[in-house]
Amino acid sequence: MANLLSYKSKGINHSISNGWTSVLYSTLLISGSGIAKTIWEKLLMIWLAEHDQGIIGYGMAGIDFDQIFWSVSEFEKQKEFVTGIAQKAINEKSWSKLDYETEEEVLEGLLNLWIDMFSKASAEDIKPIEDYNWYVKPDLSDLDNKCSIHNVFLNRLVEDKMGCCMICNDK
């Protein structure tokens, strides 16, 4: 079973293996957690951290453009952040901070796929949703909770803080 990275309303569906999904999301978390400043950016990073297959199950961590809680008025800035974290990951080789080796060419291809998919979006494409589809919605007081080892945003899927870090959980 794999995960889909998709933009279903535009007919874009990319199947990514469970292993590569974990590497991609962990790399995006490393990159984005260091630059997320706004509430929306932090919530996006926490929502991404909720896609931890070690907790929610393999093949259950796909992401679709329409599942993201976009704001029409802030869309261009939000899209810039979403694509920017992938470009930053490529530029800085953020995967080097992972606790394991990875094939750079494959990961760069996935990061470029992420950039390409989200770059094609426009504000007219947004389907209004009230909030992210959270497993466990964070309180605003949780917006700065990060792993003390990896400095990435934590999900709230388990009680143990170490288990809330996608990277700690991926060993």
pLDDT in tens, 28-65: 999 999 999 999 999 999 999 999 998 998 999 999 99
Question: What pLDDT does 60 receive?
Answer: 93
pTM, rounded to two decimals = 0.95
Cβ(86)–Cβ(24) under 8 Å? no
Residue 119 makes CB contacts below 8 A (sequence gap 6+) with: 79, 83
* DSSP state at residue 15: E
Q: Tell me what pLDDT residue 161 has.
A: 75
Alpha helices (runs of H) in 50-140, residue ranges in sequence order: 53-56, 75-92, 104-119
pLDDT reported for residue 171: 64
Under 8 Å between Cβ of 49 and 152:
yes
pLDDT of residue 71: 94
Total length of the chain: 171
pLDDT < 50 regions, the chain: none
